[in-house]
Structure 1
Amino acid sequence: MHRFRSRRFIQVVLALAVVGWLAATGIALTQYGTPTADEIARAEQQIDADVAMNEEFRQECLADAELPAGTSPEDFCGPEQSRDDYDLSWYLDTAPFDLAASGTTGALGFAALASVVVALVGATWIGAEWSTRSLVALLFWVPRRMQVMAAKVVVLTGAAAVIGVLAQAGWLAMAGTLHALVGRDAALPAGFWGDLLQTQARGVLLTVLAALLAFGLTNLVRNTGAALGVAFVYLVVVESAVRGLRPLWQPWLLSNNAVALVEQGGSTLYVYDESRPDVDGVLQPVEYYLGHLQSGLLLGAVTAVVLVLGAVLFARRDLQ
């Protein structure tokens, strides 16, 4: 823990994260406004008018007998719309901050940012030791390699969990500030806080997995820059190639599973497979649902494999 706290790069990264949070909060305050009661009332009236107009068009569509073959009127004309399908901010020049609409989305964004931060921390936590050969010197004092590696993993896991919790607390503080100063004075929906806290808890889990995966990958290649390069190639090149050439493999991509792990209700992928047209020769999307448990198990398994492989090689390879 003392070595972790003393790492200058880790201190700089965490300090920059705090500065970024302060800057983001300040910028967000300029993006929202406090409309008057008359402006909100006019926006509500416009929403009601649009709902009524769209329903009128839908009824005319349902009454039309000339529909494409094999298509039901409901599928062709779409479902009935309600007030909940419209966002008040669409009708306001300076929309207020809507905590109900932005709560879980912000938690997802902060989980992604925290994962990037802890990935850098996890990579340098072992990469710097390999680069400076201080890990070899450490083994003179503690010659039990697996004990050394286990201690580093435990410290990183605890630190990543703390950083993840602080990141989600930062989002709550930011959202509370926006809600108090430029927020909309409206009742929150039932179950809002339960859904938000569950999303944040999964965000903390993703943060820990990101730190351990970066640590394990860096321990394998023994260089921070090389590990970050491998991660960049995978996320930008490999995943893009899979989406273009093998779309049915997308449920196995790490980025998709990371989103599904944190996102409320999981994530549904719509994949177009050129080898599976329908009877009319039209491509229909194939739906894949990624739940929290499935995504968490996949990410956890990949992380465990990388960590164990790195630890085994660390125990067996010669160190110079």
Structure 2
Amino acid sequence: MSLYRTELRRLGKRRFTRWATLLGLLVLAAVLAGIFVTNEKIGPEQRARAERKAEQQYQEQARWAEEERAACTQAKTSGQNAPQGRYPEDCAMIQPPDRESIEAKWYLPSTFDFRDRFEETIIPFTGILAMIGFVVGASFVGAEWSTGGMMNLLLWRPKRLTVLLTKLAALLTGAVGLTVVTAALWTVGFWIVGTMRGSTAKMTAGVWQSFGLTGLRGLLLIVVAATLGFAIASLGRHTAMALGGAIGVVAVGQFGVGVLMGMAGAKFIEAWLLPTYAMAWLQKKVILENYDSCNANYYGECKPDTLELTWQHSSILLGVGLVVILGAALINMRRRDIA
């Protein structure tokens, strides 16, 4: 019997895998439903309603300006002491805004433009599936160690690295398969949202290619997360090792690093935080700004210092972390006794 098929079947039959996957899919479905409910298609009725609201807002502003101008004139005529700075020297300066400055588009309801907004939905999609991949990967190998299943398996197939890498291959196959199928459903779901609650216009081959590349980067991030969970749990020979390490990095390490960098006066604190690099990987680049600095340009405008982090920076960090942790897990598997 093929070890790979056996591990793949074992992965699919584990209750933790099924429940974690189901929970993640329910969260994604809730996100999709929430966006569907909070958006609507814009037509002549919605535009007419927005025009009425804009006109109503202008009339209110005009009425307020007229009342304030009359109060200003009365205060200056009667010699009353109005609060300092409330009225200008010339009451005629109190005027309502131009009608054109109050735009009807401000009052249009939220609508889902598939071309403009679908790419941003890939971020929560990737985050949720990466979390599932991490915990399932950690549980998949951690449970084998804690229950003694790994020892029994090695009696049948004594090649340690082959066994561990086959388990990892089965895990990544499941992660990729789940991601591809879910991504297809995610895309179809938001296409329906755009059709019924927004717009799907101006979709070109270039736009689809951009979406595909972003999705591919998301898939790679999910694979990395699953591998890291698997490798950390294998190092500690327990699921809690990976989950505890993740909690330590996110809750303690990231928070502590942020506080430490802030106390040290670092210019770009976000550059020391892992989520920044995950965002740079998905969005291709992230521009950080330091508002404590001021660079005056030719026109006297003050602009903050900036730091651009690209997907290349993120790929180096993710690649090094993956090689170090997975390599340590393989070395540990090869050298330590099975007990």
Superposition TM-score tier, normalisation by shorter sequence: 0.7 to 0.9
**Distance across 1 between alignment mates of 2:37 and 2:241:** 40
Within the alignment, does 1:224 sit opposite 2:243 as a pair?
A: no
Closer, same or farther: CA 284–39 of 1 in aligned 2, 3 Å: closer
2:315 alignment partner AA: G
**Distance across 2 between alignment mates of 1:292 and 1:250:** 15
Which position in structure 1 is the counterpart of 2:206? 191
Instruction: Select which of 241, 255, 271 maps to 2:275.
Output: 255
Which position in structure 2 is the counterpart of 1:297? 316
Residue-by-residue CA offset, 1:173-218 (whole Å, 9 max, x unaligned): 2211211221236434783222211111111111101100111111
Structure (1 or 2) with the larger CA radius of gyration:
2
Residue-by-residue CA offset, 1:203-247 (whole Å, 9 max, x unaligned): 111110110011111111222123212111211221122223224
Instruction: Select which of 124, 141, 148 maps to 1:133.
Output: 148
2:46 alignment partner AA: E
1:21 alignment partner AA: L
2:327 alignment partner AA: V
Closer, same or farther: CA 20–290 of 1 in aligned 2, 3 Å: same
Instruction: Select which of 103, 109, 116 maps to 2:124.
Output: 109
Closer, same or farther: CA 278–23 of 1 in aligned 2, 3 Å: closer
- The answer to whether the 8 Å contact 1:10/1:121 transfers is yes
Which position in structure 1 is the counterpart of 2:257? 242
Closer, same or farther: CA 184–91 of 1 in aligned 2, 3 Å: farther
Closer, same or farther: CA 29–245 of 1 in aligned 2, 3 Å: same
- The answer to whether the 8 Å contact 1:115/1:207 transfers is yes
TM-score of the superposed pair, with normalisation by structure 1? 0.76
How far 1:151 sits from its partner (Å)?
0.8
Within the alignment, does 1:20 sit opposite 2:39 as a pair?
A: no
- The answer to whether the 8 Å contact 1:268/1:288 transfers is yes
**Distance across 2 between alignment mates of 1:190 and 1:104:** 15
> 1:44-123 residue pairs with structure 2 within 5 A?
90-92=106-108, 94-123=109-138
**Distance across 2 between alignment mates of 1:229 and 1:87:** 52
Aligned length: 276
**Distance across 2 between alignment mates of 1:309 and 1:249:** 29
How far 1:291 sits from its partner (Å)?
1.2
How far 1:262 sits from its partner (Å)?
0.8
Which structure 1 segments of 5+ residues have no match? Answer: 51-85
How far 1:170 sits from its partner (Å)?
3.0
Which position in structure 2 is the counterpart of 1:10? 17
Closer, same or farther: CA 145–278 of 1 in aligned 2, 3 Å: same
Closer, same or farther: CA 167–288 of 1 in aligned 2, 3 Å: farther
Closer, same or farther: CA 38–299 of 1 in aligned 2, 3 Å: same
Q: CA RMSD in A?
A: 3.1
| Partner secondary structure for residue 237 of structure 1 | helix
Within the alignment, does 1:306 sit opposite 2:325 as a pair?
A: yes
TM-score of the superposed pair, with normalisation by structure 2? 0.72
- The answer to whether the 8 Å contact 1:123/1:224 transfers is yes
How far 1:109 sits from its partner (Å)?
1.6
- The answer to whether the 8 Å contact 2:28/2:125 transfers is no
| Partner secondary structure for residue 191 of structure 1 | helix
1:258 alignment partner AA: A
